[in-house]
Amino acid sequence: MLEVNLVKIKFKGKLIELKPTKILAVAKNYVKHINELKLSVPDDPKIFLKPPSSLIGHNGAVVIPKASERVDYEVELAVVIKERCWKIPQEQALDYVLGFTVFNDITARDIQAKEMKESMPWDIAKGYNTFAPVGPEIIPAGDIDCHNLNIWLKLNGEIKQNSNTKNMIFSVEYLISYLSNVMTLEPMDIIAAGTPEGVGPIKDGDIVECGIEGIGVLKFKVENEI
């Protein structure tokens, strides 16, 4: 049987297997993105899960399912957890971070809209295989300042998203502390820290490049489901 979620990623010059027990994604963490979706600014983090089976690596292919007519890109900073942790205070949070990488929270927007209308979770809209591109490498936590990184996305060479992690409502430390007070975080678990404004649709044949300062450029192509 083909392992669709077998993802290897560079870390300190070596390829390691990325096998999280869970992907915790943050909704509504940039004000301008909240505004473009005409939503309200949250008082606390709004979290949803993406399955590890949705992961693909750098230079992979996002497959648009036949069930959706509108699939969107969403570039995000991803936090990779280093070791098992539970109820971590904010001032210790970065001690439990292996490093940072680039993530794209691919979303079937039409399915999500239906789920929201029916007051249902977003599991299907966010959970298809290939809906979580990640890479090209993990940069160790001590090597970059996660609070001030330019973040951008190009669709077929044209800039569509362009912001900075300083614009996040909830910091990396706050998210780790908040989530670890709900559930145990395990090694290689991923926290996708939310997307800035400029999200939009992708289609068959598109080439997407997602960049974060100090980390690199995650690239993937887009294909229709056969």
CATH (residue range 15-224): 3.90.850.10
Q: Model confidence at 2, in pLDDT bands (50, 70, 90)?
A: very low
Query: Distance between the two ends of the chain, CA-based, in angstroms?
Result: 18
SS (H, E, C) 128-171: CCCCEEEEEEEEEHHHCCCCCCEEEEEECCEEEEEEEHHHECCC
Q: What are phi and psi of 147, to 5 degrees?
A: -85, -10
Side-chain half-sphere of 63: how many Cα atoms within 13 Å? 13
- What pLDDT, on a 0 to 100 scale, did the predictor assign at position 39? 83
- What pLDDT, on a 0 to 100 scale, did the predictor assign at position 164? 98
Q: Model confidence at 4, in pLDDT bands (50, 70, 90)?
A: low
Query: For residue range 102-119, what is the model confidence (pLDDT) as tens digits?
Result: 999 999 999 999 998 999
Give yes or no for residue 162 having a pLDDT over 60: yes
Q: What are phi and psi of 8, to 5 degrees?
A: -110, 145
Tokens encoding 100: 């940072």
Q: Model confidence at 37, in pLDDT bands (50, 70, 90)?
A: confident
Distance CA 57, CA 60 (A): 6
Check if the beta carbon of residue 169 is closer than 8 Å to that of residue 134: no
Check if the beta carbon of residue 176 is closer than 8 Å to that of residue 185: yes
AA letter at 106: I
- What pLDDT, on a 0 to 100 scale, did the predictor assign at position 5? 64
Average pLDDT over residues 63-90: 98
> By C-alpha distance, which of 146, 143, 178, 152 is closest to 165?
146
Domain residue spans in the chain? 15-224
AA letter at 36: E
AA letter at 68: S
What is the reported pTM?
Answer: 0.96
Query: For residue range 133-144, what is the model confidence (pLDDT) as tens digits?
Result: 999 999 999 999
Average pLDDT over residues 190-216: 98
